[in-house]
Amino acid sequence: RKEVEQDPGPFNVPEGATVAFNCTYSNSASQSFFWYRQDCRKEPKLLMSVYSSGNEDGRFTAQLNRASQYISLLIRDSKLSDSATYLCVVNPMLNFNKFYFGSGTKLNVKP
Amino acid sequence: DAGVIQSPRHEVTEMGQEVTLRCKPISGHDYLFWYRQTMMRGLELLIYFNNNVPIDDSGMPEDRFSAKMPNASFSTLKIQPSEPRDSAVYFCASSFYQGPYEQYFGPGTRLTVT
């Protein structure tokens, strides 16, 4: 079983739409969670960390559900520039510096 | 500040040749990671170092792959001999132990083995 699983998409949405991605993780002891963004032919970059209480950064909201072992990313008022692949990342408690990356969810925002 | 630097950015080589990928982490970072990304397998961790010491190389596919970190500012990933199935994008990333544990990625090396 993979450590982190994501729906690969693609999610095709119009500008201004709200879109949500989920990601599930297998290690119930995991403590740190992140969303990374990867543009086509570029390196992954941190989008936001995911805190237990949930957190918001502008149009982006991240949530953690420990009981069901999933994290989510909500994007409101989608922009063309949001088109990218979004990688879910989990960091098991025992090793604070070893990340497990999901395979990514591709988002296409259309005009 | 300079980010993670990788070279070369693109490498095309023939099967059987030796390939060496290079990485310079962000100054002050004490963790360095080598990843491989393909369409089929996504982003895979190959090996990581802490203070220049290899900590976990369980992701290294086979003996043809080797990695070194002779000092805090330089690391290499070597493939010898290379095979077509090694074609991928190889990323180097670094992070700081004291947190917040964000890993900063270099631009990657796109390797094509023909």
Query: Tokens at residue A80, please?
Result: 């063309």
Q: Pairing between strand A100-101 and B10-13?
A: unpaired
Q: Give the 3-state DSSP-derived string for B22-86, with helices as H, strands as E and coil as C.
A: EEECCCCCCEEEEEEEECCCEEEEEEEEECCEEEECCCCCCCCEEEEEEECCEEEEEECCCCHHH
Give CA angle at A87 (A86, A90), nearest 5°.
Answer: 145
| pLDDT tens sequence across B51-110 | 999 999 999 988 999 999 999 999 999 999 999 999 999 999 999 876 657 899 999 999
pLDDT confidence of residue B109 = 98
Predicted pLDDT of residue A53 = 85
Q: A11-34, pLDDT tens digit by residue?
A: 999 999 999 999 999 988 888 899
A32, A43, A101: residue with CB nearest B42 = A101
Note whether B9 and B107 are within 8 A (CB): yes
The Cα–Cα gap between B73 and A31 comes to 29
Cross-chain Cβ contact B106/A99 below 8 Å: no
Instruction: Give the pLDDT confidence score for residue A95 in this predicted structure.
Output: 60
pLDDT at B1: 63
| Among the listed residues B25, B26, B21, the one whose alpha carbon sits nearest the alpha carbon of residue B7 | B21
pLDDT in tens, chain A (111 residues): 788 999 999 999 999 999 999 999 998 888 889 999 999 999 999 999 898 888 999 999 999 999 999 999 999 999 999 999 999 999 876 666 778 899 999 999 999
B101 neighbourhood in chain A, CB within 8 Å: 32, 91, 96-97
Give the A window 60-99 contacts with B, CB below 8 Å.
87, 91, 95-99
Q: Which of B35, B91, B95 faces A97 most closely, judged by CB atoms?
A: B95
Mean pLDDT throughout B5-22?
97
- Taking an 8 Å cut-off on Cβ atoms, the answer to whether A97 and B101 are in contact is yes
pLDDT given at position A31: 81
Q: Give me the residue from B91, B97, B105 closest to A97, CB to CB.
A: B97
